[in-house]
Structure formats: structure tokens, C-alpha cells
A and B are shown apart, each in its own frame.
Chain A
């Protein structure tokens, strides 16, 4: 799976490869753009901790943990990150919560939380374009460990967005209440 996310706070690219039914290895690269930009990259392990398969839906709890390096104005420093993602989805509704903690030595430590709620206005099958209307709430709490990364972006932002899925391709885009654009896509192989 190849994925890419872009919003006012970050740009990320990730490649996931599933090695077991409950485990995937990934490479994660992220450019933080809330203050002066810095890049964080490294391998990541994604674990499916629990899955509920219901007649009309599915619930999941995942963790994502990685370690690597931060590139900050020519300096390379160690970085670690971990997160949890919980979701519940039917063909009609979607709910999720994601929280991530990140520590980049001498650069930044931060917590990011995202909650999403969505509804499908019609029920599509595999051959159809599936449409979702969603609202996303992001919350950033960060402590800058150097004087170069002071963020001017809001700590909390709300983004209405549209998600389109066609077979193995997903894309979504929206504009936040603060006027910030976001665009993400995922391709499954």
C-alpha cells in the first residue's frame, strides 16, 4: 500500500507491506510544516491489536510505532514516534480516532490527535465510485525544543472533506474552517 497525505501541518509519504494478518512493516517519511519545516523518516511497525467483524461492520484497533532520524537544517538527530488508531466502519457510517506522540531530539516533542466522523450518501458496490462525506477534527500540542520551529497554525482545526474510493484507489480532499487545504490518497497493490 502506498499513501500520501498533505495538509497545513504536515506532508507524509508511507509504504506499507503486510507480512502477517495482524502485522505490517512500513517506511514513513514526514515533513513537519507547522513551524520551520523539518523532516522525520524511518521504518515503522503497524500492529492490528484487535478486530471485530460484525454482520454489517468492522471495528479495529491498530498501533503504529517507528524510529528513525530527523533532518533539521542540515543536522540529523534521532526521532521516535508511536500512535494508536481505532475505527468503526459500516457501509454507511465511519468513525475513527487517532493519536500520535512524536519526539525528535533537540527539535520538537508533540502530540497529535485526529477524530473523524463520516457518512456514505449512497451504498456503492466494488465496481462503483464510493463517496463519503466526513468531518475531521485535528488537535496539535507541541513543545518546540529549539527556537526555530514556532508554529503560527491553530492548535485545533476542523475540516469537512470528501472521500472517493474506486476499487483499490482512495482519495480525499477538503478545506478547514481556517482555510487550510488537505489532500490525501492511498493506492492498494
Chain B
């Protein structure tokens, strides 16, 4: 019983951890590109924070605890801002 409770609490703790999504993006060349992408992500309810790095061509999105953003929504957000996604990596 005790083992089961520990396992359940561990599961809850893991699922409550905020997810970080890193997207590799083509076409970003200037500060105004950064602003456009950040603005698009900030409109998404699940997004806690977003950072764009021109040098590494990566967009890092911190998802709010307990919420999620699937790959399709991440891709759509970036494509609608005018750029192309070449890969997505997730971590907690």
C-alpha cells in the first residue's frame, strides 16, 4: 500500500512539472522576427514563457504547469508567424 502511494505521488509530481519545448526554426534573421514569434506564442494560453535565439535558430517555450502544447500547435504558431519548423524537442 505504502509503495503504491509513493508511486502515485511520484507520478503526480512528474506530471505537474512544467514542460520545455525547443523548436528549431528556419528563416529567422532579425530582431523583428524574434518579436513576431514571441508575440504569437504569448497569445497561447498554455505558454508561460518564450525565448527566441537568433544565433542557434531555436525557439524555447516554457509551458505552464499542468498544461500542454502539442507539436501541431507549436508548428502552426511558428508557421503563422512566417517561419518554418525543422524539429521539435521536449523535456521536463
Contacts and interface: CB of A to CB of B under 8 A. Distances in A.
Are A and B bound to each other?
yes
A109 interface: no
B35 A165 contact: no
B27 A51 contact: yes
Interface residues of A, number: 23
A53 B27 contact: yes
A125 interface: yes
Given A55-B26, A55-B57, A165 B31 contact: yes
A110 interface: no
B29 interface: yes
B79 interface: yes
A166 interface: yes
B57 A170 contact: no
B56 to A, nearest CB: 10
A125 B32 contact: no
Contacts of B82: 21, 48, 51, 53
A123 B29 contact: no
Contacts of B81: 21
A140 to B, nearest CB: 28
Interface in B54-92: 54-55, 57, 79-84, 86
Which of B26, B29, B36 has the most CB atoms of chain A within a 10 A radius of its CB? B29
Given A53-B84, A168-B35, A188-B35, A125 B53 contact: yes
